[in-house]
Structure 1
Amino acid sequence: MSTQSPRPSRPKDRYGFEIAIICALPLEADAIEALFDHYWDDDGSPFDKGPGDPNAYSTGVIGRHNVVLSYMPGIGIANAAAVASNCGKSFPGTKLALVVGICGVVPFKPDKDEIVLGDVIISDGIVQYDFGRQLPDRFARKDTLLDLLGRPNQEIRGILAKLRSLWHRRQLSAKIAEYLEILRQEPGLRAEYPGVTKDRLFEASYRHTEDQKSCEQLGCNGELVLRSRLETAGVRPTPAVHFGLMASGNSVMKSGEDRDRIAVQEGVIAFEMEGAGVWDSFPCIVIKGACDYADSHKNKDWQRYAAATAAACAKAFLRFWVPSSTQGLAATSCLSLDDRIFFDQNRTAGAVDSSQTQPAFLIPFSKNDLFVGRDDVLTELQGLLFNRGYQKVALVGLGGIGKTQIALQLAYQIKEKKQDYSVFWVPALSRASFEQACIQIIDACGIPTTDNSDAVETVRQHLSSKRAGKWLLVVDNADDMQTVMGSRGVDDGLYRSLPQGDEGRILFTTRYRKVAVSVAGRNILDVPAMDRDEARRYFKEALIQEISSSDEQVIDYLLALLAHLPLAITQAAAYLNENQISLTEYLQLFENTDRDKIELLGAEFQDDTRYEQSQDPVATTWFISFNQIRKADELASRVLMFLAYVEPKAVPQSMLPEGESQQQLTRAIGTLCGYRFLDKRGSSEVFDMHSLVHLATRSWVAENDSEKEQSQAAIARVSEVFPTDKWENRDVWRQYLPHAIKLLRCAEDDWSEEICKLGYWAGRCLLVDGRVTEAVELLEHVVAVNETTLADNHPSRLALQHELARAYRANGQIKEAVELLEHVVAVRMTTLAENHPSRLASQHALAMAYQANGQIEEAVKLHEHVAAIMETTSAENHPDRLASQHALALGYQDNGQIAEAVKLLEHVVTVRRTTLAENHPDRLASQHALALGYQDNGQIAEAVKLLEHVVAIEAEILAEDDHRRQLSEDQLQRCYEMLEGASSIVESEASVHDEEM
């Protein structure tokens, strides 16, 4: 009888986790979490993750292992590779990665062994079957030595051989059954065996005809392949474990014929989508449960059970995996992660060469006693410089993010823990500041010089020589590309004057990513804002006043407004300390107006950990960068000023000002992203700007006396690119609308023609999007402006009045709509021909308003007039002609002319099926109207069929609370009730008839 493995002790840091488990789907992670024996996340301070790591993790214990569970943001090889790479950085002690989850399987192995649903596959290798070249007549997989993923390492091959043996295989199966039973007892996992009858395997050639429907819906009735395990296994066969090659690719395998072809070619027994992405980052084993047969009949019925069997197998497998030996670790087990890095680096160090100069320490600032947190950044920084031995590393981040303070903290840590290192600090604010720092280094190190010596060259030569010993040089504020790298064609940059030596390390701090790449290549560390806990600790340390429990929520809210930005927090604390006001009073000032906010962000304060010549508040810090951008990149400056007037979040690239070429715009965006004033959302062409940076940008534009000019330029640009309200443009105008509305709200009273044009189209798009109240408010304002500037019969004025009337009708303001449209129609009848589209459009809209107002006869008469003219001037499938016929049919319905309505709507529906997409609102509206006509005409079954289709489509494209969707669902329910009522009447009449007989 086996004994329970002792629980491992809590790791001191993230280096203590040797097992990583990676899951692509939440249901896969659910099963793993349920088998944790202990959760470190609930016991002690969190382990968090490395800087710049976007992954999400849970930490805990499985058996005798400390494990980290990583959640993938999506399926596929690329996602898996990114997750594995970041996991390796945050948890550098990882010795083994398990990719655990679900897969599709080949039902028969080469030896004819059966694989049934719920079985588990353990990989002994990965084949990336879709990696290759598509030739004209075939696909050729790349299979050279450099292209292959390679076999598992010796340790993995050894344990897999052990588990294949009969005795250990039995042990593994017994443990899987034990852990699976635990998962089956958890109701939330829904890990019950679905049943033998649901394990259906069709012949590979029998295809599922419609991808979006189930086998039950389609009535798949092909011949089933018999499996002996299912015939003899009873109710629930025991999951079997199969070892073999797994095919990994970027697409879901849903073809039985392709499955069998690849299985024969490559010798694989399963298909999945993550293993190839993890394989290159860690020693890796893929453990996956069979949830389908990788054919066109696959469904999700088996996913939860398969995820449970895989999780149970993963836990059982870890009983056989031996943790790293603790030999040699006792001396370091009590050290922190920071200390261990220094310990590992120094334990083999020899004596210092007597010819070397004594270590020197030259830092222009005292130690920052208020420094808190940033452990992840410091750990990564120390690892890059001293463990991996990179000679040049750059810290890059937004101005005020805390780069200098992190470098300062590192410098003092080196002084205390690496006493054989010299530490020097040079500001790269200018050539002069750099030269002055070099003079101080010469004095501190006692470097011999002559009267004609160049201080910069003297320091470069000294630190490049062996007599300088080990050293760290901090090059701070390397923000200006010209200062650092020199002018084009001239080697006058500071970078050329930096020393080089095997024993030296250089750390740059810069707010400009292009500088970081130029000086450090790939060895770049992005500095994030503080997390909430770090920001709170720092703020409380900096404040003089006592904090009461009632202030806690105020602090969290204020820090969120300051975006956890260290310099902004320092400035806020200094203001509170100097002016002795309460947190609530400061918050009221900060939220009062944008001008007050800028004044607070621009308030000067004293800080002994910053340069005397740059005691700049946060707003001024950014102004310096803005001015650098204006000098270096004219288009980037224009884009920056444009951004000051639109919303700071979700800015589409297509809306930005254009340059002479796409490449020029790409460079401009790169400049702004390089300074971290813009952040790109993943791989999309959408950008975000920090809210405080956005505010500072607006203030900077105002300070340069160009506010009105830039505001007008922004309006002109958005007006130029804003699309029409056609449904096909919906994705675009939904992106643009928030920015257009912000521009319109901030516009001054003297609205130009461009502003009115933008207001017109924005109002129409709001109306199409169902935001009726906003549409009315905006269009009323634009109409009011036009009524003071345009003649009564001006086309633009009439067009705006027409749209406002439509918005009134949609908003239930029927009388206002009728009154305004009667005016528009009257004017257009005197100025436009009878068949002019604008005249017909206003008559059509007036007829709709009459109908809504209960003036049915007037509505029908006007609808018939419009429809008659449209029939003589437009093609049968013209959208306006169909719209007029649709409206006329609705008028017929309201007038009791049901047969005429049904006939006309059947025509409209038939034509729109050939011209509009299935989810187009006009097509759905005509189908909905026809269903109502069928209902009024007693054709309930036809109405139900049509409404079921409409409801299904609207459920995919409309929000749950959208009135159009709710209207369709309510109407369908009424039809169901009418059908049930009719059925009851028939049954009752039949019963009476039987009794009479």
Structure 2
Amino acid sequence: MFLSSSETTFPRPVSLNENFVGWEGMLSQLLERLPPNTQPNACQRTVIEGLGGIGKTQVAIEAAYRFRESHPDCSVFWVLAVDMTMFEGAYREIGRALEIEGIEHDKADVKALVKKSLDRDEAGPWLLIVDNADDMLLLNEGQLMSHLPFSRDGSILFTTRNHHVAARVEARQGVHRLDQLSDSESERLLHRGLQPSQIDDAQSTTELLKYLVHLPLAIRQASAYMACRMNVTIENYLGYCTSSNQIMVKMLSKDFDDQDRYEEIRNPVATTWLISFEQISRDDPLAAGFLGFICYFEEKDIPVSLLPTGADEVQRDEEISTLRAYVFILDRGTPDRFDVHRLAHLVMRNWVRTQGKQSQQVTVIIQQLSKEFPPPKHENRSKWALYLPHVQAVLPLMDECSERERFVPSQSNVAYCYFLLGKYSKAEQIFMEVLEVMNITIGHGHIGTLRTMQNLACVLSEQGKYSEAEFQYREIFEMRKILQGHEHSDTIDSMNNLVAVLSGQGKNSEVETISWQALALRETVLGHDHPDTWHSMHSLALMLSDQGKYSEAEQMHREILALREARLGYKHPFALYSRGSHALELSHQGKQEAATQQQPKALKGFKKVLGEEHRRTLDCMYNLALYLYNVTVRLD
């Protein structure tokens, strides 16, 4: 297509968009760079790049019209480069506008004729806009590059969603990347064409724009939908989008009339991105496979290590580079983690599902997660805490997994992580799901099932569900005595756990008997210096405290604290528990000053290790406040 200074109207799709908003700073930069001869002895090349739907074509149109006004003697040509058929058709239109001899011949080499004409000095100054130059295959094998003119009196502006294109066209310093619109610009775009009754309140607008990630095409799609349905308000549309992922994808897939878009290309956001997905699948199958992983993880802070390694680490980095080039994944300022665009995340998952590959994909993902997820230990906390949101995002799809029983251990690890984080309700839910599967697959009396029952009972106890926990612990204890023997470590663990839940119900007589038995067995089987023995000592110390034997309890807690800090380190949660328990016994004996010296150290450790909202941290804060209150009252 050809825009000359003598024309007063321009054919679609390059008609002026009277409602254009945004990117004024970038337009100023473009208008400085686009004039021919800006770079001596070179044909200027400039690139506008960004995610599909971000507004690259609209910026290019606006730049073309502003450029024509300031450079009336410069010809402006527009070429759509989705495929070679469209590219050649646009070149034929340019040839007709330039009245190139032979351009209408059936066997004419249209591309060569136009290139030759624009290469000549007689062509005068020109600006060529190559829109939607996304396909690297077209640039390479299609040899689109060889058909681009090269003249010191010429300048070429490309728009692309693929960063690799910028390198291929050798734009050097002329790459301009579009990011999201500002809040005010997005609001103007959304409200365009709507009735006052549809706009509702400012909060609805803010929430919808945030949900649409300020993506111009998604905003225009929403505005067009509401403009055609005057009974639909912004609040209604927001409700549609947030009701479910399926409905959100449905809304993103709706076609809409837009005079500023190509007639040959469908408008929906989802369709725009499907084009990119298909290009990636064709050119880079491993990168497409990564999309199949990414769409099932949480959209923020995805570790690169969760992706399959492929042939080698170098190849994996190359595939990630491909996805970054299409702006489907976003940098977080660190090379080992990334985010994914939220709307693209939804469309990716729908793309996998509609291909009938969800079950297969979920199975492969869970295999990878099972392989990479570290044991849920305090020492590994930084790693499993990073992985946990992504594993949890996949777990609801376990029913899609063709080999679910193989991945029960992964679910158990996730549940135990939530237990360590103090998120007992989540831990309980997952442990119950695991237990249901294990009862069916390996049986109620299996040692693995008993271990899950014990974890579930522990979670119940932490939530104060002592009666349910006691029932579980008694059954586990009896079964372990039969299966593993009375002196087995797991059996003694069951005794300790039973002690804790009986204490919570005030059953002191039974607690005392079992506590001494458990400690005696621990010291006989494992020795006094074993960490499991310290657990039994801790349980016994708590029992002594409940009986009012504070001096004995405090002495035992002091010993456990010294042992744990020496072996595990003073920052370990068990050492922190012991410090808090020791402070409590000091308080029971009226030693409030000593207690207030110990408890802040425990509180500081809990905040750092477990977080400010963990139950242990909150308990520690409460105890410290109580000690301080008691000290104040005593001084008064």
Compute the TM-score of the two structures, normalised by the length of structure 1. 0.59
- Residue of structure 2 in register with 1:560 after alignment: 210
Deviations 1:115-141 (A, max 9, x none): xxxxxxxxxxxxxxxxxxxxxxxxxxx
Whichever residue aligns with residue 856 of structure 1, its letter is N
Equivalent residues of 1:363, 1:425 under 8 A apart: no
Letter paired with 1:554: S
Give the partner amino acid of 1:555. Answer: T
* Equivalent residue, structure 1, for 2:511: 859
C-alpha displacement of 1:547:
4.7
Query: Is 1:877–1:915's contact at 8 Å kept on the other side of the alignment?
Result: no
> Which position in structure 2 is the counterpart of 1:783?
435
Structure 1 residue 957: Cα displacement = 4.7
Closer, same or farther: CA 980–530 of 1 in aligned 2, 3 Å:
closer
Separation in 2 of the partners of 1:879 and 1:684?
39
Shift of 1:604: 1.9
Report the residue type matching 2:222 in the other structure.
A
Query: How far did 1:706 drift?
Result: 0.7
Alpha-carbon distance in structure 2 between the residues aligned to 1:878 and 1:479? 64
Out of 523, 537, 558, the residue aligned to residue 906 of structure 1 is 558
* Matched residue SS, 2:264: helix
What is the distance in 1 between the residues matched to 2:199 and 2:254? 28
Q: What is the rounded CA distance, in whole Å, between the counterparts of 2:478 and 2:577 in structure 1?
A: 30
Report the equivalent of 1:699: 350
Matched, 1:382 2:34: no
Cα-Cα RMSD: 2.7
- Name the SS for the 2:78 alignment partner: strand
Q: 2 CA distance for matches of 1:464 and 1:877?
A: 87
Q: 1:456: which partner in 2?
A: 111
How far does the alpha carbon of each residue in 1:880-912 deviate from its partner, in whole angstroms, 9 at most, with x for none?
A: 233232222222222334344333322222222
User: What is the CA distance between 1:955 and its match in structure 2?
Assistant: 4.8
Q: Write the distance in 2 (CA, Å) between the matches of 1:646 and 1:754.
A: 20
8 Å contact from structure 1 (residues 928, 950) kept in 2: yes
The runs of at least 4 aligned residues of structure 1 exceeding 6 Å deviation read 358-363, 981-984
- Name the structure 2 match of 1:48: none
1:515 pairs with 2:170: no
Q: 1:440-488, CA deviations, whole angstroms, 9 ceiling, x for partnerless residues? A: 212112234475653222222332332222211111111111111x14x
- Residue 821 of structure 1 corresponds to which residue in structure 2? 473
Deviation at 1:812, TM superposition (A): 0.6
Could you tell me whether the CA contact under 8 Å between 1:398 and 1:676 is conserved in 2? Answer: yes
In the alignment, residue 93 of structure 2 is paired with which amino acid?
Q
Shift of 1:592: 3.4
Question: Does 1:424 pair with 2:424?
Answer: no
Give 1:629's aligned residue. 280
Which letter does structure 1 place at the counterpart of 2:78?
A: W
What letter matches 1:697 in structure 2? M
- Measure, in 2, the Cα distance between the counterparts of 1:617 and 1:421: 35
Describe how 1:147-546 pairs up with structure 2 within 5 A. Answer: 364-365=12-13, 366-386=15-35, 389=38, 391-449=44-102, 454-484=109-139, 486-487=140-141, 492-519=142-169, 520-541=171-192, 543=193, 545-546=195-196
Quote the Cα distance in structure 1 between the aligned partners of 2:246 and 2:591.
66
Cα shift at 1:599: 2.0
Partner letter of residue 507 of structure 1? L
Q: CA deviation at 1:822?
A: 0.7
Q: Take 1:592 and 1:980, find their aligned partners in 2: how far apart are those partners?
A: 53
Deviations 1:698-746 (A, max 9, x none): 1101111111111222222223322222112222222222222222234
Equivalent residue letter for 1:395: I
Cα 1:851–1:383 shift into 2, 3 Å: farther
Q: Give the Cα–Cα distance (whole angstroms) in 2 for the partners of residues 609 and 549 of structure 1.
A: 23
> Counterpart of 2:249?
598
Contact 2:550 2:588 in 1 (8 A): yes
* 8 Å Cα contact 1:385-1:393 kept in structure 2: yes
Equivalent position amino acid for 1:380 in 2: Q
Distance 1:402 1:889, change over 3 A: same
* CA distance, structure 1, for counterparts of residue 77 and residue 12 of structure 2: 9
Q: Which has the higher strand share?
A: 1
1:550 aligns with 2:200: yes
Structure 1 position 681, deviation (Å): 0.7
Tell me the SS of whatever aligns to 1:475.
strand
User: Are the aligned partners of 2:31 and 2:67 in contact in 1 as well (CA < 8 Å)?
Assistant: no
Q: What letter is aligned with 1:556?
A: T
- Partner Cα distance (2:6, 2:529) in 1: 85
**Contact 2:295–2:345 (8 Å) recurs in 1:** yes
SS at match of 1:508: strand
Deviation at 1:666, TM superposition (A): 0.9
Deviations along 1:635-657, one digit per CA (max 9) or x if unpaired, are: 21122111222222222222223
Letter in 1 for 2:82: L
The Cα shift of 1:876 comes to 5.4
| Alpha-carbon distance, 1:953 to partner | 3.4
Residue correspondence of structure 1 range 936-951 to structure 2 within 5 A? 936-937=588-589, 939-951=591-603
Counterparts of 2:127 and 2:528 in 1: how far apart (Å)?
79
Identity of aligned residues (%): 31
1:570 aligned onto 2:225: no
Q: Quote the Cα distance in structure 1 between the aligned partners of 2:606 and 2:243.
A: 43
SS in structure 2 of the partner of residue 590 of structure 1 = helix
Contact 1:935 1:975 in 2 (8 A): yes
What is aligned with 1:589? 240
Are residues 469 and 884 of structure 1, via their aligned partners in 2, closer, same or farther at CA, if it must alter by over 3 Å? farther
Does the Cα contact within 8 Å between 1:477 and 1:511 map onto a contact in 2? yes
Cα-to-partner distance string for 1:304-325 (whole Å, 9 max, x where unaligned): xxxxxxxxxxxxxxxxxxxxxx
Preserved contact between residue 363 and residue 424 of structure 1 (Cα < 8 Å): no
Deviation at 1:823, TM superposition (A): 0.8
Which stretch shifts more, 709-718 or 765-774? 709-718
Query: Closer, same or farther in 2 for the Cα pair 1:444/1:877, shift >3 Å?
Result: farther
- 1:612 is paired with a residue whose SS is coil
The letter for the 2-side match of 1:757 is P
Structure 1 equivalent of residue 463 of structure 2: 811
What TM-score do the two structures reach when normalised by structure 2?
0.90
